[in-house]
């Protein structure tokens, strides 16, 4: 009997060892095919630009192509849902933004549980949004916008890259704290929103610095103010909205997530690759002039930041009665 039991235990241990070695070999082989970065916005916007710049560096670090997959719509929910329902194998990665933390408060019936459906990889960068108008706009200051909005409630329009995005909530907070009415016009990304702003279909946009910087530098848009409490180092001559609207503060950010259940070794490999890409001179050269600060920390740092932002915006949404359009 003892020999039989010993034999069974040996076979069981051998099986467990084989399984462990096979799993280790699989992890060691990651990645053995292209990795996909899902951008929940249309091509050409700030998030798309950042994802493509990051993808170049990550591809070099991973030794595999990194493909950008644009899935715009529904305030980033379409792209996020696609990642949440994908295989947790590290080959489908979400490029998340401010909307990731605000959507649970704005849209309680999400097709996924934001805090449970994703595993954090890295917080890449943070920065201000910028209130921009066309170069020929009569608005030259926040005071001009406030005066016009109060004189004709609801007439002024502001574009965003979608419901629940930083550009949307920046406008909502501006209207609520400024005690005025404006009309929100959502798009499926920053690029089409900026196109209509330049074409005169909308009056202004609280755009991310990454999306608007080239148009501001080219003289096609005028930067009126930044959304962070202090002036942005990259835009030292542009005042803060808080100077005219006390208590105003909105920050945009960019982070990577994978589906929950992705092996820790794979998450760490992606984190390492993203850090190498984000801290490289080419990535910094492209992003820092746009007012973004590179973070590139640990997965737990992104987890804590998201928890804090989700709680903060849940309170703001409730206190200001912010509604999704």
Q: Is the pLDDT of residue 8 over 70?
A: no
Q: Tell me which of 42-51, 149-158, 258-267 is least confident.
A: 42-51
Place of tokens 């942005």: 232
- Count of CA atoms in the C-beta half-sphere (13 A) of 219: 0
The residues, ordered by sequence, that sit 6+ positions from 17 with a Cβ below 8 Å of its Cβ are: none
Q: Is the pLDDT reported for residue 35 higher than 50?
A: yes
**Residue reference for tokens 């001179």:** 281
Please say if the pLDDT value at position 215 is more than 80.
yes
Name the 3-class secondary structure at 184: strand
* Cα–Cα distance, 246 to 240 (Å, whole number): 10
Q: What's the chain's average pLDDT?
A: 87
Q: Could you report the per-residue pLDDT of 269-281, keeping only the tens digit for each?
A: 999 999 999 888 8
Q: What does the alpha-carbon distance between residue 47 and residue 50 come to, in Å, rounded to a whole number? A: 5
Domain boundaries, the chain: 34-127+252-320, 128-243
Residue 190, pLDDT above cutoff 90: no
Q: Check: CB of residue 29 under 8 Å from CB of residue 59.
A: no
Q: Do domains 34-127+252-320 and 128-243 have the same CATH topology?
A: yes
Lowest-pLDDT range of 116-125, 176-185, 221-230, 287-296 = 287-296
Which pLDDT score, from 0 to 100, does residue 110 have?
93
CATH architecture of 128-243: 3-Layer(aba) Sandwich (3.40)
pLDDT value of position 6: 52
Cβ–Cβ under 8 Å, residues 171 and 160: yes
What would the two tokens of residue 141 be?
Answer: 């200051």
Distance CA 61, CA 188 (A): 31
Confidence at 24, pLDDT banded by 50, 70, 90: very low
**What pTM, to 2 d.p., does this model score?**
0.78
Instruction: Give pLDDT tens digits for 133-152.
Output: 999 999 999 999 999 999 99
Instruction: Calculate what percentage of the chain has a pLDDT beyond 90.
Output: 58
Element (H, E) at 265: helix 264-278
- In 10 A of CB 321, how many CB atoms? 8
Report CA torsion sign: 191, 194, 200, 202. positive
So what CATH class is 34-127+252-320?
A: alpha beta
């Amino acid at each position: 009997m003892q020999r039989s039991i010993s034999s069974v235990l040996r076979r069981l241990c051998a099986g467990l060892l084989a399984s462990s070695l096979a799993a280790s070999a699989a992890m060691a082989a990651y990645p053995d095919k292209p990795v996909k970065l899902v951008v929940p916005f249309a091509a050409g916007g700030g998030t798309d630009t950042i994802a493509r710049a990051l993808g170049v560096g990550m591809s070099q670090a991973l030794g595999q192509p990194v493909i950008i997959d644009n899935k715009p719509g529904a305030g980033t929910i379409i792209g996020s849902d696609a990642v949440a329902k994908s295989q947790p194998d590290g080959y489908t990665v979400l490029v998340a933004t401010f909307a990731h933390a605000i959507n649970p408060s704005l849209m309680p019936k999400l097709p996924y549980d934001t805090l449970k459906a994703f595993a954090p990889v890295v917080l890449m960068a943070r920065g201000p949004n910028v209130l921009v108008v066309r170069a020929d706009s009569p608005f030259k200051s926040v005071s001009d916008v406030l005066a016009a909005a109060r004189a004709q409630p609801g007439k002024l329009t502001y574009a965003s890259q979608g419901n629940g995005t930083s550009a949307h909530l920046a406008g909502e907070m501006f209207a609520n704290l400024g005690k005025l009415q404006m009309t929100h016009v959502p798009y499926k990304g920053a690029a089409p929103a900026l196109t209509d702003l330049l074409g005169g279909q909308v009056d202004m946009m609280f755009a991310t610095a990454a999306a608007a910087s080239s148009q501001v530098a080219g003289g096609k848009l005028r930067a009126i103010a930044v959304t962070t409490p202090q002036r942005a180092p990259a835009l030292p001559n542009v005042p803060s909205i808080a100077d005219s609207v006390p208590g105003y503060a909105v920050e945009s950010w960019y982070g990577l997530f994978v589906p929950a259940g992705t092996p820790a070794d794979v998450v760490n490999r992606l984190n390492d690759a993203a850090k190498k890409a984000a801290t490289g001179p080419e990535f910094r050269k492209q992003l820092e002039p746009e007012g973004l600060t590179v973070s590139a920390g640990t997965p737990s740092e992104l987890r804590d930041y998201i928890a804090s932002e989700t709680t903060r915006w849940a309170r703001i949404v409730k206190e200001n009665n912010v509604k999704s359009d």
